[in-house]
Amino acid sequence: MREKELSKRQQNILYFIRSQKKATNSEIKKYLEKKDFKVSRITVVRDIKVLLTKNLIERHGQGRSVYYEEKIKNKVLRHFEVDDYFKLEADKRKISFENFNFKVFENLKNIFTREEIRELKELNNNYQQKIKSLPSAIVQKEFERLIIDLSWKSSQIEGNTYSLIDTEILIKQNQEAAGHKKEEAIMILNHKKALNYILDNRKYFQKLTLRKIQEIHHLLAQDLGISKGIRKGLVGIVGTKYKPLDNQFKITEALEKATKIINKEKEPLAKALIALSLLSYIQPFEDGNKRTSRMLSNALLLADDFCPLSFRSIEESEYKKAMILFYEQNSISFLKELFIEQFKFAVNNYFL
pLDDT in tens, 160-195: 999 999 999 999 999 999 999 999 999 999 999 999
Q: Any idea what the Cα angle at residue 64 is, between residues 63 and 68, rounded to 5°?
A: 90
Assigned CATH for 104-349? 1.10.3290.10
User: pLDDT digit string (tens) for 239-294?
Assistant: 999 999 999 999 999 999 999 999 999 999 999 999 999 999 999 999 999 999 99
Q: Spell out the SS3 assignment of 127-182.
A: HHHHHHHCCHHHHHHHHHHHHHHHHHHHHHHCCCCCCHHHHHHHHHHCCCCCCCCH
30: left (phi over 0), alpha (psi -120 to 50) or beta: alpha
Whether this prediction's pTM lies above 0.85 is answered by no
Nearest to 152 by CA among 124, 179, 184: 184
DSSP H helical ranges for the chain: 8-20, 25-34, 41-53, 82-85, 104-107, 114-133, 136-157, 164-173, 182-200, 210-221, 248-264, 268-282, 289-303, 316-329, 333-349
Domain extent listing, the chain:
3-71, 104-349
For domain 3-71, the CATH class is: mainly alpha
Phi first, then psi: give them for residue 68, nearest 5 degrees. -125, 145
Cβ atoms of residues 326 and 281 within 8 Å: yes
**Of 40-44, 143-147, 287-291, which gets the smallest average pLDDT?**
40-44
Give me the percent of the chain exceeding a pLDDT of 70: 99
Q: Is the pLDDT of residue 44 over 80?
A: yes
The rounded distance, in Å, linking the Cα atoms of 183 and 189 is: 10
Cβ atoms of residues 256 and 188 within 8 Å: no
The rounded distance, in Å, linking the Cα atoms of 123 and 127 is: 7
4: confidence class by pLDDT, cuts 50, 70, 90: low
Q: Is the pLDDT of residue 153 over 70?
A: yes
The rounded distance, in Å, linking the Cα atoms of 105 and 281 is: 11
